[in-house]
Amino acid sequence: MPFVDLAAQFASISGELQETTHTVLSSTDYILGREVEAFEDEFAAYCGAQHGIGVDSGTSALELALRACGIGAGDEVITAANTFIATCLAISYTGATPVLVDVDPETFAIDVSRVAQAITPRTAAIIPVHLYGQPADMDPILELARRHGLRVIEDACQAHGARYKGRRVGSLGDAAAFSFYPAKNLGGYGDGGMVVTDDDRVADVVRMLRNYGQRAKYEHVVAGFNRRLDSLQAGLLRVKLRYLDAWNAARRDHAEMYRRLLADTAVMTPVQAEYAEAVWHLYVVRCGDRARVRTALERAGIATMIHYPIPVHLQRASPEIGCVHGDLPITERLANEILSLPMYAELSPAQVEHVAETLAEVAR
Ligand SMILES: *Cc1c(COP(=O)(O)O)cnc(C)c1O
């Protein structure tokens, strides 16, 4: 059984995708344009936000959102230690310094009390990461940010459609970044991303920054970038957006089944916080003796992954983070115990049951 099965998803909607491909290719409108505008409006509305600005990746969405919030050299940006490295790279690209804080071992969400401790006079923003599709606890983060005059940018790259106290992620902070990397809950057929925000000024600046700093054609008011979303991806993502809620509901059913079947076994299942409706981008369990468990699953034909095996602060690429082994003990411990099980909408209940029963058996 594969870890994700993009072929199964493609097969289920290939007719619509082919029709859209033909429409976009014959329109000769390939970069930004009508499809991108329509997708921006639809996705922003889906998130309950005013503006969507399509960009070329989730990493760009994070970077441009930070820049539009005025973050740059000399600033510190606090984020979760157990994230994908792109969160930290985006901070570094702006010239700011990433400051990592440890997480809750049960929900994997950023630990708000540690965020409070990490605030210094240079802190300018917080990036809560809705990791694995589960929202971070936003209210205390927003309250902390308000008290200290900080911006909040949600890293929602794994959480399309997730809800926090009934509200969709993407509408909670000053801005949010989404990725449309193919394997995300809403994924394109190439790279893509979006900044979602209610802030008119942030939206304006991101719109300029992604397109050479243009305000009008050939009038460049800031030194921007080429970070645009293309029309074909937008068209294909519009098709897939119509299925997102159904796909997320299927993921929730699978997660519930995993939880039930793995209760009272040697495997620890992830805890859904009481404020959250998670969309289970990844279903991450914890177990002892992970290497052996993983090999046994592989022998049984079940693919698993580890998200992530080396924490960001211990990567050779991140010396400027200035942390060493032992500085972020929960994240470091999790990195040795976590195991991501197969999770995608097209899994059948029988497959979920097979994974859970095999895992319970081999983890004993
Ligand atoms: C995927 C991801 C990103 C980066 O998105 P790209 O589209 O790959 O640039 C950032 N943060 C998190 C948490 C992600 O999962």
Task: Tell me the average pLDDT across 42-60.
Answer: 98
Q: Is 57 in the pocket of ligand 1 (CB under 6 A)?
A: yes
Atom from ligand 1 closest to the CA of residue 60: 9
Distances from the Cα of 286 to the Cαs of 65, 106, 265, 291, in angstroms?
33, 10, 11, 12
d(CA 59, CA 179): 7
Specify the residue with its C-alpha closest to ligand 1, atom 6.
Answer: 58
Over residues 209-218, mean pLDDT: 94
Among 36-40, 83-87, 138-142, 213-217, the least confident range: 213-217
Task: Tell me, using a 6 A CB cutoff, whether residue 55 lines ligand 1.
Answer: no
Q: Does any ligand 1 atom lie closer than 6 A to the CB of residue 341? A: no
103 CA from centroid of ligand 1 (Å): 18
Asked whether residue 82 carries a pLDDT value surpassing 80, the answer given is yes
Write down the mean pLDDT value for the chain: 96
Atom of ligand 1 nearest to the CA of 90: 10
Determine if ligand 1 sits within 6 Å of the CB of residue 134.
Answer: no
**pTM recorded for the entire structure:** 0.98
Neighbour tally for 113: CB within 10 Å: 12
Cα 219 to averaged position of ligand 1 atoms, centre (Å): 31
CB of 58 closer than 6 angstroms to any ligand 1 atom: yes
Q: Is the CB of 82 under 6 A from ligand 1?
A: no
Q: Quick check: 47 and 261 in contact, CB under 8 A?
A: no
Residue 328, ligand 1, Cβ within 6 A:
no
Work out the angle between the directed axes of helices 58-68 and 85-93 (0-180°, nearest 10): 40
Going from the Cα of 21 to the center of ligand 1, the distance in angstroms, rounded, reads 25
Is 84 a pocket residue for ligand 1 (Cβ < 6 Å)?
yes
pLDDT of residue 323: 82
Tell me what pLDDT residue 319 has. Answer: 63
| Sheet hosting strand 167-168, strand order edge to edge | 167-168, 163-164, 276-277
Ligand 1 site, residue 331, Cβ cutoff 6 A:
no
Query: Mean pLDDT over residues 223-231, rounded?
Result: 97
What pLDDT sits at residue 59?
98
For ligand 1, pick from 64, 77, 84 the residue to mutate: most ligand atoms within 8 Å of CB: 84
Tell me the pLDDT tens digit for each residue of 100-159: 999 998 889 999 999 999 999 999 999 999 999 999 999 999 999 999 999 999 999 999
Q: Which of 89, 83, 84 is nearest to 103 (CA)?
A: 83
* CA–CA gap between residue 188 and residue 175 (Å, rounded): 21
Q: In angstroms, rounded to a whole number, what is the distance separating the alpha carbons of residues 7 and 11?
A: 6
Ligand 1 and 129: CB distance under 6 A: yes
Mean pLDDT of 248-258: 98
Edge-first strand order for the sheet with 193-197 is 51-55, 193-197, 175-179, 151-155, 123-127, 76-80, 97-101
